[in-house]
Structure 1
Amino acid sequence: MIRVGNLDVSIARRKVYEVGVPIDLSSRALELLLMLVEANGSLVRKSDIMKAVWPDTVVEENNLYVHVAAIRKLLGDYRDMLVCVSGRGYRLNFETQSIKSSGIEEVVSTSPIRKFAPPVSNTTLFGREKALTDVRSLLQQYAVVTLVGAGGIGKTRIAVEVAHKLSRDFCDSVLFVDLAQLTEPTTVRTIVSEAMGEVETVGISGWRKHNAAMHSMLIVLDNCEHVIEAATRCVENLIATKPGVRVLVTSREPLRAQGEVVFRVEPLDIGPIGVFSDVPPLPSSVEMFLDHASCIDLRFGRDAASVRRISRICQRLDGLPLAIEIASARAAVLGIEALADAIGDRFNNLSGGHRTALPRHQTLNATFDWSYNLLDVNEQKVFRRLGVLHRPFDISDACIVAADSEMTEADIVDAICGLCSKSLLADDVTRTKREHRLLETARSYALLKLEDNGERGVTEQRCELLEYGKSHRAPRVQLNCVPPRRI
C-alpha cells in the first residue's frame, strides 16, 4: 500500500482507499493514478499516458484533463502533489522507500499522514458528570472499556470528552479512530495501524513499533457495531501485544472481547414520569433542550409554562440526546406548542441534525434505520412485533406476541437477547423478576416497521388476546374454543 496524500493506493489490487474505504474511481482515472504512483515521483509524459489509458482510441487532450481534475479532487488538501510540467506531462511530488521485513516488502510514503486527534467539541455536555468519572476510573483498571447504548444516546460525545481529559495521563498519546465510514471489515486493522504510526505487515500478527518510546497510549475506536468482529480481533491483538495500550470503544453492542468491561450509557435524566416541573434544578434533558434552542434563537422563551412543556417533550423523547437536539432546533423555529403536536409523528417531523454529522445522525429515522438494518431476520421480526406492547413484558409475553410458524420459542429468546445486547430493549428489574420494554421512541419506530411489513393487524390481535388472558386469568387455549350449544 502506497500513501499518496490522503489516499492509499494498492498497485497489486488496483484499488484506491480513503480512510480504509474503497473509492469508486473511473477506470481511466485509476489507470492514470497507477502510472503516476509507479513512476515514483518521476515525470510521466503525456504521450505515454495517452497510449496507456486510451490504447485503442484517439482522443483529445481535454479527456486527460478531466481525469487529472478528478484525481486532484480526490486528493483534496493534497491536490498540489499532482504536478503538471507544462508541455511535457505529469508527476506526483512525493518519494517512497521500500523496507524489507521478514521477507515481506512494505512501502512507506513520505507524504503527510492524516491526523487522529480527538475532535474538539464546543458544546456543553449535560448530565454526564458521573459517567465521565466512572469511565475514567474503569480505564485505569481495564485494558478495554466499551461504551454501549442506543443510537444517538451520546456515546461518542462521552468518549471524546474522556479522551481530552486523559490526554495528560497518556502523555498526549491519545488517538481517535472513527470507523463509521468503513465498509470493509478487513480495513479496521489497516486504519488502526495507520493511526499508531506503524506499518501493517500482511501475514504477521502484531504490530511493529516505529517509536519505541511510545509505551502508554489511549485509542478511541468509535462506531464499531457494523464491523464488530474485525474490531474485536483488532482490539484483542492490541492488548495482547501492547500492555501499555488502553482502548475505549463505542458501539451499540459489546465486543465480547477478552479483557473488556462494558459501560452502558443511559439516556439523560427526564425527571419523575408525569411530573413536569419548572423549578431548578431542572433535569439534564431539559437543560440541554433549552441550551440548544437558545443557541439557535436567543429569544427562545424560558417562562414556566414553556419549561413544563419542554419537560413533557423530553419525557416523550426518552431523554435521547440526539432526539432532543433535533427537537430543540425545530422548537426554535416552530415554537413549543407546534413541536408538542409534531412529536406524535416524530420520525417524519424530527430531522435536521448538524450538517457535519454522520448521515444517520441527521434524522431520527436514519438513526433507527441504521440499528434496524444491522439486526438479523429474527431480531427484526421480534423487534417490530414487540412494538404493540405498551407495558414492560417478560419472555413468555414476547413469545406470545412475536410467535409465527417459522420461529421456535428458542429463536424468540435468542432474538430478545440480541435486542438487549444491541441496546434496542431496556430492562426493568425488580426483586422477583426481570422484564423488558421498548422506549417510546423505539416503540414508535417498531410500529412503523410493523405497518410496513403488513403485520400490525394480526400482531395487535395477539396482544389483545394476551391482555384478555391476563385480566381474566384464563388459559390462553380457552380463547379459541367453540362456545357450548344451547339446549
Structure 2
Amino acid sequence: MHQFDRVTVSLASREVYLDGKPHPLSARAFDILALLIDADGRIVSKDAILNAVWPGTVVIDNNIQVHISALRKLLGGKHGWIRTVPGRGYRLASPDAHAMVQTDVARPPAVGVPRDEVWPRAVPRMPLIGRDDALAELLALLDSETLLTLAGPGGVGKSALACELAYARSAGTGAGIRYIDFAAEMAHCTAHAAPRLPDFDQAAAARHMLFVVDGCECAIDEAAAFCHALSAAYPHARIVATSREPLHIAGERVYRVAPLALPPQHASEAQMRASAAVQLFLRHACAGECASASTMPPLDMVALLCRQLDGLPLALELAARRAALIGLGPLLAQLDAHWLALPNGLRGVPARQRTLGASLEWSHARLDAIEQTVLRRVAVFEGAFDLDAAMELAACAAIDAARVIDGLTGLVSKSLLLAESHAATATMRYRLPRVTRLFALDKLAQAGEANWRARSAQRHSSLAFAA
C-alpha cells in the first residue's frame, strides 16, 4: 500500500481509496500512477508513459494530460504530489509543507527529510493497549540494532506493534518509512524467488530509512534472504521484521512479543480494570453492534475469559465481537467446543486470521513431521511439563528422545510452545496456551493417537504411586 495524504493506493489489487473509501480511477490513469510510484521520485518521461500505457498505439500528448489532470486533482491539486518537469516528464514528490494535508497516517518528518510513508489498510493505526513498555524498549533497541525481528504467535499483535514502532521512530528521528507486506509480495513471485529490493535514488539511499517487512513466516527462507539483502543494500537503514519464528540471519536481534498482561486470580476491580487484556476485550466489546453500557458483562467474567484465552489479542477481539452478539455467559459456556471456530467478522482480513483455528492451521502447516507429532502428543499435558516428561511421553519407536528435543525446540522457536526458566532446578518448563492445546488435541484425535492420553494417565498414576 502507498499513502499520499488522504489517498491510499494498492498496486497489487489496483485499488484507490480516498479517506478510506474506494475511489474510481480509469485504468489508464491507474497505469500512469503505478509508473510514477515505481519510479520513486524519479522523472518518468512522456515516451515511457506512452510505451507502457499505450503500447503499439499512436496517441497524442493530450491523452496523457487528461489522465495526469485527473491524478493531479486526486493527489492534492496544483501544489500536490504530481510534479511536471518541463520538457522531460512527470514525477511524484512530496507537497510543500504549507500545502500538506497533515493526518495521523501521513505525518511529516523532520524538516529537510523527504517523506516516504507506505502503509497497508489492513493495519489501521489505533491506540495500542498494554504495549507502552514494549514500545519504549523497542525504540531503545533501534538505536543500536539494524535488524529487529518481532517474533510471536499468530494474533499476538506483531504487525500493529511494528507499525506503531515505525511511526514513533519516524516522529523522533525523521526517518522515512517503507512497509512491505511480504506475503503479498511473494504472491507475485515465481517459485522460490524473493521479491526484488526497493529501488531508491542516491539521496533516498543515503538517509536513514526504516523498513517494516511484515508476515515473514509465509516463506521464511525467502524472507531471510530478502532481509539480509536489504540490510546489505541499505546499511544505514533499520529493518523491523514480523514473523512467527526468527529469521536466523547475521545481525538479527529477536524480540518476543508477549500476550497482554492478565489480571491475577482473585483480583480486585481496580486490578481487573488495569489489566491490558481486560481493557482490550472491553474496547472491542463496546464497539460491537449490539453493545451498550447497560449490557457490559461483569468484570470477573471478563477476567476469567481473558485468562482462558491467555491474553492473546486476536482471540480477545474475536471473543469480544461474539460476546457483543450472544452475551459473555453463553460464550463462556461454549468454551472448548467453539473457540477454534470463532469468526473474525471483519472484511479484508487475511485468511489465516479469520478464525483462531485458521491462524493455528497456518502455523501447523509450516511445521515439519516431527514437530507436528510432538505438538499433538504433548497436548495431553494439562499444565506445565518439563523436558523429561515430554521425552518420556512423546517418544516412540519412530521418534527417539533426541528427536523429541528437536521437536520441542522447533515448537518454541515457532511460537507454538511457551518456555519458561525454572530457577530452582536450572531447567525449562513448557506449556501450551489453552487454544493451542485444544487445536493440538484435535490433531491428536485425527491422527488416531488417543492412546497417548492413556499413556499420560498411566504416567501420572505411576508418579502418584511412587510418591
- After TM superposition, the score normalised by the length of structure 2 is 0.72
Between the aligned partners of 1:266 and 1:296, the Cα distance in structure 2 is: 26
What is the match of residue 269 of structure 2?
278
1:291 and 2:305 are equivalent in the alignment: no
| Contact 1:148/1:250 (<8 A) preserved | yes
SS of 2:374's equivalent in the other structure is helix
Q: For residue 249 of structure 1, what is the amino acid of its counterpart?
A: A
What is the match of residue 393 of structure 1?
385
Quote the offset at 1:333 in angstroms: 0.5
Between the aligned partners of 2:459 and 2:286, the Cα distance in structure 1 is: 46
What is the match of residue 453 of structure 1?
447
1:324 and 2:316 are equivalent in the alignment: yes
Report the CA distance shift for 1:429/1:300 in structure 2 as closer, same or farther (over 3 A).
farther
| Contact 2:182/2:223 (<8 A) preserved | no
What is the match of residue 197 of structure 1?
199
Quote the offset at 1:121 in angstroms: 2.5
Give ranges in structure 2 of 5+ residues lacking alignment. Answer: 1-9, 14-33, 35-49, 59-66, 72-88, 94-115
What is the match of residue 337 of structure 1?
329
Quote the offset at 1:305 in angstroms: 6.1
What is the match of residue 246 of structure 1?
238
| Contact 1:116/1:177 (<8 A) preserved | no
Of 438, 441, 454, the match for 2:435: 441
What is the match of residue 42 of structure 1?
56
Between the aligned partners of 2:461 and 2:371, the Cα distance in structure 1 is: 26
| Contact 2:384/2:429 (<8 A) preserved | yes
Quote the offset at 1:222 in angstroms: 0.4
Pairing of 1:70-219 with structure 2 (within 5 A)? 117-119=118-120, 121-181=124-184, 182-183=186-187, 184=189, 186-190=192-196, 193=197, 196-198=198-200, 209-211=201-203, 214-219=206-211
Report the CA distance shift for 1:144/1:356 in structure 2 as closer, same or farther (over 3 A).
same
What is the match of residue 411 of structure 1?
403
SS of 1:388's equivalent in the other structure is coil
| Contact 1:197/1:210 (<8 A) preserved | no
What is the match of residue 27 of structure 2?
none
| Contact 1:154/1:322 (<8 A) preserved | yes
Report the CA distance shift for 1:297/1:212 in structure 2 as closer, same or farther (over 3 A).
closer
Quote the offset at 1:465 in angstroms: 2.0
Deviations along 1:171-226, whole A, 9 cap, x unmatched? 34111101123245644331xx2xx334xxxxxxxxxx454564211001101012
Report the CA distance shift for 1:304/1:112 in structure 2 as closer, same or farther (over 3 A).
closer
| Contact 1:269/1:285 (<8 A) preserved | yes
What is the match of residue 26 of structure 2?
none
Between the aligned partners of 1:215 and 1:255, the Cα distance in structure 2 is: 25
1:464 and 2:457 are equivalent in the alignment: yes
Between the aligned partners of 2:317 and 2:229, the Cα distance in structure 1 is: 37
Between the aligned partners of 2:343 and 2:334, the Cα distance in structure 1 is: 12
Report the CA distance shift for 1:469/1:189 in structure 2 as closer, same or farther (over 3 A).
same
Report the CA distance shift for 1:116/1:384 in structure 2 as closer, same or farther (over 3 A).
farther
Between the aligned partners of 2:294 and 2:376, the Cα distance in structure 1 is: 38
1:368 and 2:360 are equivalent in the alignment: yes
Q: For residue 333 of structure 2, what is the amino acid of its counterpart?
A: D
SS of 2:306's equivalent in the other structure is helix
Q: For residue 212 of structure 2, what is the amino acid of its counterpart?
A: V
| Contact 2:285/2:323 (<8 A) preserved | yes
Between the aligned partners of 1:266 and 1:149, the Cα distance in structure 2 is: 7
Deviations along 1:217-260, whole A, 9 cap, x unmatched? 10011010122112212222232342211100100011111111
Output the aligned Cα RMSD: 3.1
Quote the offset at 1:150 in angstroms: 0.5
Between the aligned partners of 2:148 and 2:162, the Cα distance in structure 1 is: 10
| Contact 2:158/2:242 (<8 A) preserved | yes
SS of 1:341's equivalent in the other structure is helix
| Contact 2:152/2:415 (<8 A) preserved | yes
What is the match of residue 71 of structure 1?
none
Quote the offset at 1:38 in angstroms: 8.6
Between the aligned partners of 1:197 and 1:170, the Cα distance in structure 2 is: 22
Between the aligned partners of 2:294 and 2:302, the Cα distance in structure 1 is: 10
Between the aligned partners of 1:224 and 1:330, the Cα distance in structure 2 is: 30
Quote the offset at 1:279 in angstroms: 2.8
Between the aligned partners of 1:440 and 1:124, the Cα distance in structure 2 is: 27
What is the match of residue 7 of structure 2?
none
Between the aligned partners of 1:335 and 1:154, the Cα distance in structure 2 is: 25
Between the aligned partners of 1:197 and 1:217, the Cα distance in structure 2 is: 12
SS of 1:415's equivalent in the other structure is helix
Say how many residue pairs are matched.
Answer: 368
SS of 2:183's equivalent in the other structure is coil
Deviations along 1:335-376, whole A, 9 cap, x unmatched? 111111122223454112421211111111100000000101
| Contact 2:175/2:207 (<8 A) preserved | no
Quote the offset at 1:400 in angstroms: 2.0
| Contact 1:343/1:349 (<8 A) preserved | no
SS of 1:404's equivalent in the other structure is coil
SS of 2:392's equivalent in the other structure is helix
What is the match of residue 300 of structure 1?
292
Identity value in percent: 32
Between the aligned partners of 1:354 and 1:167, the Cα distance in structure 2 is: 29
Q: Which deviates more from structure 2 when the two are superposed, residues 262-271 or residues 172-181? A: 172-181
Quote the offset at 1:110 in angstroms: 8.6
Report the CA distance shift for 1:161/1:385 in structure 2 as closer, same or farther (over 3 A).
same
Q: For residue 354 of structure 1, what is the amino acid of its counterpart?
A: L
Report the CA distance shift for 1:110/1:345 in structure 2 as closer, same or farther (over 3 A).
farther
SS of 2:385's equivalent in the other structure is coil
Report the CA distance shift for 1:444/1:112 in structure 2 as closer, same or farther (over 3 A).
farther
SS of 2:274's equivalent in the other structure is coil
